[in-house]
Amino acid sequence: MPLVSVIVPVYGVERYIERCAVSLFEQTYKDIEYIFVNDATPDKSIDVLRAVIDRYPERAKTIRIVEHPHNKGLSAARNTGIDNATGEYVWHVDSDDYVATDAVEKWVETAEKHRADIVICDINVVTTNGIFTEQVQYSYKEDYIRRLLQHTQKCAHWNKFYRRSLLERTGIRSDEQIRLAEDFAVTPRLLYCAERVVMYHEPLYFYETTNQSSYVHNLSRVAIESQRRADGILTTFFSDKPEYADIVAVLPQRSITSLVKNSNVEGWQIIAEVYNDCLDHSGKGMTLVNRIIYHLVKNRKWCMLQTFMGLYNYVMRDSK
C-alpha cells in the first residue's frame, strides 16, 4: 500500500487540535506518516496534541512534530511539511478542521484506480448553524481552473489529494511572502500541470468556519497584500496560455471584489490602496454585481458600497 503524508500546520488551535488529530489517527488506512508543523503557536496546541498522541501508541512512530523557531506563516508551514514528506501522496489538513475516518482510504483507492495526480472531493462546511455539504462544481480541468481563478470555487489545498511526484516534478511551492491566499497562488498551477485530475463526489473533509484566531480570519493589510502577490504569480504563469487570456485580463479586479465581500469599510480602503494600480480597468468581463462593486471601489464611494453590500449580503443570505 502506498505511503500517504498528512501535513498539518499548527497555530492557534488549542480548542480544535484534539478533534483534528483524533480524526486523523483513527483513519481506517494504516500506511500514513503524520507531519505536524508547529508554526510557533502561542497557545497550548502542541501540549494538547502530545496528549492525543499518547492515546494512540500504534500511530506514535509515524508522527513527527517539526518546530519553527518563530512564526513564519501558513505558506512556510506547508513547505516545511512537504520538505519532510516521504509518502507517495500528500494531503494538507488544517488543524482546526477534521476529516472522515475513511478519507485516506478513499483518497488512495481513487488515486490508484485512476492513476491521478490530483483527486478533489466535496466538503462539509461547519458553521454555528450546523454542517452543510458543499459540492465542488467540476466537469473538466480547464473549466475548474477557470472557476478557481474567478473566485467561484475554493482554491483550498485541503480538499485535494496530491501525488508527491507532481510537486517534485513541477517544483511548485507556496510563496513564503504570501501570508494568506497561498493556496490561490498554488492550486491552479498544480492543476494545470497535472496529467490527470479526478473528482470524488463525497464530502471527506469538514471545514471549520468558526475559529476566529485562524490564519483565514485575519483579513489585514498583510492578507490583502498577499492576495495581490498571488494575483501576480498567477498572471505571470497563465499569461502565455491563450485559453485563460480572458480570465487573466481581469484577475486582479475579480480579487478586489472577492476581498470586498469578505471585509468591511476599513478593509475596503486598504484594498483600494493595495490595488491602486489595478483600478484603471473598465471592469468588462465581470458579472454585473462584481462590476458594480469594482466601480464603487475604483471611485472610493464607500457609503454607496456599504449600502450595496448590505443589500447583496441580505439577498445572499435569503438565497441560502
pLDDT, tens only, 250-272: 999 999 999 999 888 889 999 99
Residue 158 belongs to a domain: yes
Instruction: Give residue 215's pLDDT.
Output: 46
Residues 6+ apart with CB under 8 A from 253: 278, 281, 283, 286, 290, 294
What residues does 70 pair with on adjacent strands? none
Query: According to the model, what pLDDT value does residue 219 have?
Result: 54
Considering 147, 178, 208, which residue would you say is the last residue of a domain?
208
Show the cell assigned to 39: 508554526
- Helices 251-261 and 265-274: angle between axes, nearest 10 degrees: 160
104 and 239 assigned to the same domain: no
The CATH number for 84's domain is 3.90.550.10
- CA 255, 260, 266, 267 dihedral sign is negative
Q: Can you tell me the mean pLDDT for 86-93?
A: 98
Tell me: do 230 and 186 sit in the same domain.
no
Residue 77: domain span: 4-208
Q: Minimal CA–CA distance to 193: which of 233, 163, 227?
A: 163
Place of cell 463525497: 202
pLDDT, tens digit, for every residue of 186-229?
999 999 999 999 999 999 999 998 875 544 444 588 889 999 99
- What pLDDT digit, counting tens, does each position of 135-148 carry? 999 999 999 999 99
Q: Nearest-CA neighbor of 161 among 132, 208, 196?
A: 196
The verdict on residue 214 lying in a domain is no
Question: 213 lies in a domain?
Answer: no
Examine residue 216 and state whether it is found in any structural domain, yes or no: no
Let me know whether 128 and 225 are in one domain: no
pLDDT tens digit sequence for 112-163:
999 999 999 999 999 988 999 999 999 999 999 999 999 999 899 999 999 9
Question: Are residues 149 and 286 both part of a single domain?
Answer: no
- Quote the radius of gyration of the chain (alpha carbons, Å): 20
Q: How far apart are the first and last CA of the chain?
A: 42
Question: Grid coordinates in use for 55?
Answer: 492515546
In a domain, 24, yes or no: yes
Examine the domain organization and report whether 288 and 187 are in the same domain. Answer: no
The count of domains in the chain is 2
Instruction: Name the residue among 208, 159, 209 with its Cα closest to residue 187.
Output: 159
Does one domain contain both 76 and 197? yes
Residue 129 falls within a domain, yes or no? yes
Same domain, 67 and 122: yes
Q: Write out the E strands in 96-181.
A: 98-99, 118-127, 130-134, 160-163
**One domain for residues 229 and 185:** no
**Coil, strand or helix: which one is 65?**
strand
- Reported as a pLDDT band with limits 50, 70 and 90, residue 318 is low
Residues 149 and 258 in one domain: no
pLDDT at residue 243, as a whole number:
95
* Residue-wise pLDDT tens digits, 19-46: 999 999 999 999 999 999 999 999 999 9
For the chain, give the number of residues: 320
Shared-domain flag, residues 185 and 241: no
- What is the reported pLDDT for 211? 73
Last residue of a domain, one of 146, 180, 208: 208
pLDDT band (50, 70, 90) for residue 85? very high
Note whether 175 and 41 are same-domain residues. Answer: yes
Residue 154 Cα distances to 52, 58, 150, 163, 169, angstroms:
30, 35, 10, 20, 24
Percent of the chain with pLDDT over 70: 97
3 state SS of 120: strand
Q: What value does the mean pLDDT of the chain take?
A: 94
Amino acid at 291: R
Domain boundary among 175, 208, 241: 208
Closest CA to 36 of 46, 26, 23, 27: 46
- Asked whether residue 274 is domain-assigned, the answer is yes
Whether the CA torsion 256, 233, 158, 52 is positive or negative: it is negative
Q: State how far the alpha carbon of 131 is from the alpha carbons of 262, 293, 318, in Å.
A: 21, 30, 18
Q: Which residues, 6+ apart, have CB-to-CB distance to 278 below 8 Å? A: 252, 253, 256
pLDDT tier at 180 (50, 70, 90 boundaries)? confident
Reduced to 3 states (helix: H, G, I; strand: E, B; else coil), residue 72 is: coil
pTM score, two decimals?
Answer: 0.92
Neighbours of 284 (CB within 10 A): 10
In the structure, what pLDDT confidence band is assigned to residue 320 with cuts at 50, 70 and 90?
A: low
The answer to whether residues 14 and 130 belong to one domain is: yes
Domain-located, residue 176: yes
